[in-house]
Amino acid sequence: MVKGILGIQIFGMFFSCIMIYLTFLHYKRKEFSVEIFFFWLTLWLGFIFMVVYPTSLDFLIRGILKFGRRLDFFIVLGFIFLIALMYYNYIVVRYTKKRVERIIREVALEKVKDCRDKKDNKKP
């Protein structure tokens, strides 16, 4: 049983290190701001801490929140995170859709205006 847990811990640390590297690459390409970079860096370092010391949150998970198992807590936390991510994606897509519609409307009106100007200039 200990070998299985050690394997999961090594995999979790490896995964986190890769994600830290990818986060750093996005930051260097100026795709992430400093705040976003530190948010993700903190998240991945926290993940490494939780993988190395899985019992560190037992006082919160079993004591305050009254979850029976750690896995139950992380499943609920994962669902909350996914729901928040879906909501954020919905908001971003709606905002992008409105901007694209506005830009298309402006371009179409400009083309109509240009066509009318050309038509008016051709009249004798």
Q: What percent of the chain has pLDDT over 90?
A: 60
The residue from 13, 28, 56 where one domain ends is 56
| Structural tokens at position 102 | 């506005």
For the residues of the chain, what is the DSSP string, one character each? -HHHHHHHHHHHHHHHHHHHHHHHHHHHTTSS-HHHHHHHHHHHHHHHHHHH-TTTTHIIIIIIS--SSHHHHHHHHHHHHHHHHHHHHHHHHHHHHHHHHHHHHHHHHHHHHHHHHHHHHH--
Same structural domain for residues 76 and 50? Answer: no
pLDDT of 118 over the 80 cut? no
Same structural domain for residues 1 and 52? Answer: yes
Determine the pLDDT at residue 1. 47
Q: Using a cut of 0.85, tell me whether the model's pTM lies above it.
A: no
Mean pLDDT of the chain: 90
Determine the pLDDT at residue 124. 56
| Structural tokens at position 116 | 């009318």
- The residue among 3 and 13 whose pLDDT is bigger is 13
Same structural domain for residues 88 and 45? Answer: no
User: Within 13 Å of residue 70, how many CA atoms lie on the same side as its CB?
Assistant: 9
Number of domains forming the structure of the chain: 2
Q: Domain of 89?
A: 71-124
Residue pLDDT, tens place only, 64-112? 989 888 888 889 999 999 999 999 999 999 999 999 999 999 999 999 8
- Residue 12 in any domain: the answer is yes
- Residue 8 in any domain: the answer is yes
- Residue 85 in any domain: the answer is yes
